[in-house]
Amino acid sequence: MRTQVVIVGAGPAGLLLSHLLAMSGIDSVVLETRSREYVERRIRAGVLEQPTVELLREVGLGERMDREGLPHEGISLRFDGADHRIDFAALTGRSITVYGQQEVVKDLIAARTAAGGDLRFEVTDVALHDLDSDAPRVTFRDADGVRQELRCDAVAGCDGFRGVSRGSIPAGVLTTYERSYPFAWLGILAETPPSHDELIYCYHEHGFALHSMRSPQVTRLYLQVPPDERIEDWSDARIWDELHVRLAADGFALTEGPLLEKSITPMRSFVVEPMRHGRLFLAGDAAHIVPPTGAKGMNLAIADVRHLSRALTAWLREGRTEPIDGYGQACLRRIWRAQHFSWWMTSMLHRFPDADAFQHQIQLSQLRYTATSPAAATSLAENYVGLPFD
């Protein structure tokens, strides 16, 4: 079998890349180890930057997002027991939309399926071959266990941090930049209406807390916990008790409800360079991870594949190689800006285990300055709503 581009991974990056390539007349096959049901239900990020929202509308994927997504024109920084609103609309004229990653994935799968796209779920033993040649190959076993081989012009590695794509690059080729943080996030999904109209980022002596949402009926909440914490040690009652303590503020009442999901996620920053090796192009979490504090992960993946789709189209349809040669550098400027913003938000809002009273006062000073200085608030706002793609 042959196709022009093999895409490994059916997350937002891989599916959107397939959609964008199809719009340009480029054939692709998407390979995914999980089932369709699993990827459509996998809970991940939920904040879409304005450039992401505009892109999804532009390529025909905005109808349900515009109907069901929740536009937000600001966030609250909660510290000193009070809210300090950062007004995105007033400061930048732009906003964000809360619309879960799994909803974006559902929309993409529906669009690709309706267009006859080749999506293959529940594949195993995926392996990449001859990446340094003009004829790369991808082998795998299909859902029935039959060994298959796809020949192609290029491979897009959109299979996440633990996928096979980055591991297929020979040792010594990649430069890795990484930082692990001394805490994790305990996240819950609760069947209860959000307790506030917008996201609340809370700095508290017990640790960071975040009030978010996925829909008018489902709330997403997070607690900072030690990195080695076990989810088994956190009963539902303990989680709610701690959320009440950290999110306490005058006039605020946290609404409880049944937990639909709870998990603990480590916090790390991670970037590899280059994002290309031969005919393999990395995108999304295969190339970079950001702490979720800045709400950048899915948005960066979408920015990557926007660049990649244009570069591959220029090469495969017009024979121009400059865009694919410059793909990584085109992405990395945005990636490092998002890394800095995510690190800055994380450092300002979390309690570090080795921090002393001096560090505590420094963080409070930064929060107060950000909440009261139009210049500082504008910097936070323009980074949060998303810088222009180009």
The catalytic residue among 211, 296, 307, 350 is 296
Element (H, E) at 309: helix 297-318
Amino acid type, 177 = Y
Q: Is 262 a catalytic residue?
A: no
Listed in sequence order, the residues at least 6 apart from 310 whose beta carbon sits closer than 8 Å to its beta carbon are 323
The catalytic residue among 99, 181, 201, 203 is 201
Give the distance from CA 388 to its chain's centroid.
17
Q: Is 288 a catalytic residue?
A: no
Q: Is 72 a catalytic residue?
A: yes
The catalytic residue among 292, 307, 327, 350 is 292
- Three-point CA angle 96, 182, 300, nearest 5°: 30
The catalytic residue among 12, 19, 51, 72 is 72
d(CA 166, CA 277): 9
**Cis geometry, peptide bond prior to residue 226 (ω within 30 degrees of 0):** no
What three-state secondary structure class fits 374? helix
Q: Is 296 a catalytic residue?
A: yes
| Inter-residue contact 142 to 266 (CB < 8 Å) | no
d(CA 198, CA 381): 14
Q: Is 384 a catalytic residue?
A: yes
Identify the CA nearest to 345 among candidates 218, 185, 193, 156: 185
Residues noted as catalytic: 72, 201, 292, 296, 384
